[in-house]
A and B are shown apart, each in its own frame.
Chain A
């Protein structure tokens, strides 16, 4: 009871303090009062203090198992390992909002501290904007979703703990949501500084310098969150894939796409003084998408298996906040448009500016496409509900021929459900459009570093492109003729145009990177004799931003290499008896037998499979079903896979009949899938190299 009261007070103080901080910042800036501005800065630090206190109280409630708090009761279990009790903090809606506030106040405090001297004019405005965002979330905590809410009457507090879902007890699930939160929340900082720049009219490059690292940080953590989510799905869910274009996945992908665009386009502004408006647009959109993503996942607007549940009040609140962000931000941008003229114009399509511009358009198109396709089902649903409720809307829809008037009349007469339906957009639709867009981006990844700023001469073009183009053609040929074509009882023959294109582009882009590193190393060795390794390290350390970027690109190429393998994916679902042998591509899989075992928390049925290739044994697979005693009706699927550089043999089981040993297996062969993870690790390393770079660095690499 005590914790609940203290926590509620904290949340309330948090809200009031944010309001006060906004007021101090706004008034202080208007009156140019150092004292008030200093007060607002202290206010931000104070908010952090209270947010930390509130979070510690909630953690304490979880660790001490204080079930007098509803949120704790719903989200924890006495038998839970400590680490899951800690992460239960953000496991559900109310706590995740508090976690959001905690992170945002931490970032706000750090960003204000770091920029207090350098960008003094921006500070009061940035503080006011950050405090407004914190205030919004604090208001949600106070008025709608207080995680410290006790039971209405003390004797309503339940004594029985709730069931605990073993699916979420997984190391990936410990790291995946907080990574995404870190990424999303930190995008508020670039937004606040961008808006502060617009308000004050200091729209030179200063605001960007203060936010480049934040954006990079956000970008990295979004990527980590997305990939961990994919790994979790791949290793736990048993459907053989890692990405399904689920709305919640998309919500994390959207800001990542616009962030990537921004990280490229700021280089154009730094070097050429172009794209000033565009950069601000990207910052606004990226931040908007983080709120939009939260809205998607938290309000139940979009039907998703991951969503937190339907909550119309929350949906409207978020809708209002998003409208304010859009109108306010773009209004400011329009007001300041005269200050944002470009210093230079685009001179040639064979220039790096143009490559960056194309890259930005494509990222934005990707983001718009994904956002549109994610929202489309919801739009069709709203439309149907509106038509049921409002005559005028229905009439308009009849007139447009979107709904059939006679069908509606019949349904009404017969008292049946109205004949509208929602439309869902599945992975096939996303893949159809996103595959070529992604490959286009891969091509640009290769072209970017090869073309010069302003204008590329034909001679340099030839010199730059010949080797990479050759590598691309070789990769294409190897892919077309060298991949041992998949055989499966003559049933399968996989040849994919997009797959081949992807391999060709991987070869091309990979070689452009090799060429860049090779030339850099050669120059260094010519200037001062040293080993190749020394020269390579020296190169990266001296121009971290440029070569860090190239390492990221290398990671991207490797990930595309892994995705290209998807085009050759094999899938078999079948029921077999022990002793039978199944072919999966080049592999032969023998079903040895099934065994039933137990341990202290679950019953297990494990299927033993022996995998061989061309007569030589490759290894064993042991997919299983587990029945936790706490949740006997919800068996968990335990995936088993054989990891190889060439691909995974992946097995999961649907059903086992212990009396006869008959089992229904799902078998997948996922070529090259592990290169996705290798590529991601490379990307991570490159990102870390970039983040460590000094912002003054003159290098404007690709």
Chain B
């Protein structure tokens, strides 16, 4: 390319400055640790109070929500035999259900996972039970 050396250096400096600014001003807010319930429970003290994402299966019969009742949602997520009580304070996704797979964002406070963000497996997965056989703890008879 027939650009002068000065132009090239100038362009390089501008690009480097822009990238530098962006990286330095990154608060790290979007980057979270993600783990399964058993990994979280393996070292509770390390994770206590930090915002993170937890992946697990909603324990059958653990959802304390009945139609038309007040109150926040309480349930238990489990994985590999480890259980974690959850206190959830937002609209649950429409696909939220017992024995369903969920990923919760929140903090572990006094042994309860306080969360206000949840994603549940999308309903495009009618075939869940086929793939689920590989997932430890899932009941293969019940699908999404």
Contact = CB atoms under 8 A, between A and B. Distances in A.
Given A168-B123, A417-B39, A658 B22 contact: no
Interface string A484-500: 00000000000000000
Given A349-B7, A432-B22, A165 B123 contact: yes
Given A349-B7, A423-B32, A431-B30, A659 B123 contact: no
B68 A377 contact: no
A416 B120 CA distance: 27
Contacts of A309: 125, 127-128, 130-132
A657 interface: yes
Nearest to A660: B70
A700 interface: no
A667 B39 CA distance: 35
Contact of A411 (B36, B42, B135): B42
B7 A655 contact: no
Nearest to B130: A309
Interface stretch (A471-479, A513-521, A630-638): A630-638
B99 to A, nearest CB: 10
A453 B126 CA distance: 54
Nearest to A596: B68
A308 B124 CA distance: 7
Contacts of A662: 70
A92 B39 contact: no
What bracket does the count of chain B residues touching chain A fall in? 35 or more
Interface in B1-36: 1-3, 7, 11, 18, 22, 25-27, 29-36
Contacts of B2: 345-347
Interface residues of A, number: 69
Contacts of A416: 42-43
A627 B67 CA distance: 9
Contacts of A637: 91, 94
A308 B42 contact: no
Given A425-B30, A633-B98, A419 B70 contact: no
Contacts of B143: 162
Chain B's interface: helix, strand, loop or mixed, by majority?
loop
A74 interface: yes
A573 B27 CA distance: 24
B125 A308 contact: yes
Contacts of A422: 33-35
Contact of B94 (A411, A432, A634): A634
Contact of A377 (B25, B34, B97): B34
Nearest to B100: A634
B108 interface: no
B30 A237 contact: no
Contacts of A634: 94-97
User: Which of B94, B121, B132 has the most chain A CB atoms inside 10 A of its CB?
Assistant: B94
B120 A305 contact: yes
B91 A92 contact: no
Given A92-B126, A655-B70, 14 more contacts: A92-B125, A300-B131, A307-B125, A309-B128, A310-B135, A416-B43, A417-B39, A421-B35, A422-B33, A633-B98, A634-B97, A656-B68, A658-B68, A660-B70
13 contacts: A237-B93, A305-B95, A307-B125, A308-B124, A308-B127, A309-B128, A349-B11, A418-B39, A424-B33, A429-B31, A432-B27, A633-B97, A658-B68
